[in-house]
Amino acid sequence: MTVSELNIDVKPLGKVAVLMGGDSAEREVSLMSGSGVLQALRSSGVDAHAFDPAQNQLSDLKRDGYARCFIALHGRHGEDGTVQGALELLGIPYTGPGVMASAIAMDKVMTKRVWTAEGLPTPRYVWLAPDRQQREVVRTVPDELGLPLIVKPPREGSSIGVTKVRGYSDMQEAVLLSARYDPDVLCEEFIDGEEVTCPVLGQGADAVVLPVIRIAAPDGAYDYQNKYFTDDVKYQCPSGLPEAEEREIQRIVLEAYRTLGCRGWGRADLMIRASDRKPFLLEMNTSPGMTGHSLVPMSARAAGISYEALCLRILADAALDTPARAAQGAAHP
């Protein structure tokens, strides 16, 4: 699908701010995502402008007459509900999920609690609050989760601060690394198998799932460097999975998306356990990457949606948690 096939009139979209950069550990990736989105929107005739919250006050958005925002921020102060809350107060519609869904999805522990309560499959875990990171506590985690296991900061993305722990002696160092990025530490059961990801567009009953992507990283290391700065990772889209398996993954992802209250767009990451082909949800990204290596554009392409059309569709779905404020914001930019 191209922009012309979308049949969206860009004039009513008004002046658009592409929020990029920010002050999170994922700033560099956000700048790459935002630049791609900005170029795509401009090529579609949108009056789009770059806006870096690390260099400008968000209140400037109202002063400068922006009618809506495309959030291309990643990580803290970008997809954790804080920017979303500020835009709610300003009455400026924005892309992606609202305040609550963004805040929950950003916290992998809270996400797991919600999914587990709803009976959705996610790896077993141990949450280490700051007062539970003493050596004598940390060394008992493998007894509960087995080895290898994954240690990660629950409120970071792009595989920042993540360690695959293979032995008891590696636990403390992994926890210390994770704690550099987040005071809490998430220890997660390692699922031995294939990694896949699956995007969703839309909201509620109208939400649609895009094709599944199968990811094959060198030595299984789908880390920050391999995600964004090398061409060593192999992606399969179409995934090549059996049709029934792909449909089941898409069903779980859609349910996971709706359960968190997501809207606009998102992307779920999963592992398929090799022993029984059971899929496990790892996390939900509510402001996914849009770089040249990013996965949502890749999946959209396989569904016949161009990068430009994808950006325009996401922008057209910009909204507020309170529809009345959205109408008010549009009337009084």
Task: Say which of 66, 125, 228, 257 is annotated catalytic.
Answer: 228
Length of the chain (residues)? 333
Calculate the CA 308 to chain-centre distance: 19
Does 263 participate in catalysis according to the annotation? no
Burial label for 108, CB within 10 Å (0-12, 13-18, 19+), is buried
Does 195 participate in catalysis according to the annotation? no
Long-range contacts of 230-238 (CB under 8 A, 24+ apart): 233/293, 235/295, 235/298, 237/211, 237/212, 237/213, 237/298, 237/299, 237/301, 237/302, 238/211, 238/302
Instruction: Determine contact, residues 165/174, Cβ cutoff 8 Å.
Output: yes
Task: Say which of 202, 261, 289, 329 is annotated catalytic.
Answer: 289
Task: Say which of 26, 79, 88, 195 is annotated catalytic.
Answer: 26
Cα separation, 118 vs 111, in Å, equals: 11
Q: Is the dihedral of CA 151, 156, 161, 162 positive or negative?
A: positive
Task: Say which of 33, 44, 158, 226 is annotated catalytic.
Answer: 158
Q: Is the dihedral of CA 125, 25, 173, 227 positive or negative?
A: positive
The set of residues, in sequence order, having a beta carbon less than 8 Å from that of 79 and lying 6+ positions away, is 71, 73, 96, 102, 105, 106, 157, 285, 286, 287
Does 26 participate in catalysis according to the annotation? yes
The C-alpha angle with vertex 20 and arms to 92 and 175, in degrees rounded to 5, equals: 115
Does 168 participate in catalysis according to the annotation? no
Task: Say which of 76, 155, 267, 313 is annotated catalytic.
Answer: 267
Cα separation, 102 vs 84, in Å, equals: 8
Instruction: Determine contact, residues 52/69, Cβ cutoff 8 Å.
Output: no
Does 317 participate in catalysis according to the annotation? no
Task: Say which of 88, 184, 194, 269 is annotated catalytic.
Answer: 269
Does 273 participate in catalysis according to the annotation? no
Does 267 participate in catalysis according to the annotation? yes
Task: Say which of 285, 287, 294, 299 is annotated catalytic.
Answer: 285
Nearest CA-CA partner of 298 in 231, 208, 238: 238
Task: Say which of 30, 283, 299, 313 is annotated catalytic.
Answer: 283
| φ, ψ dihedrals at 37, nearest 5° | -65, -45
Does 158 participate in catalysis according to the annotation? yes
Catalytic residue IDs: 26, 158, 228, 267, 269, 283, 285, 289
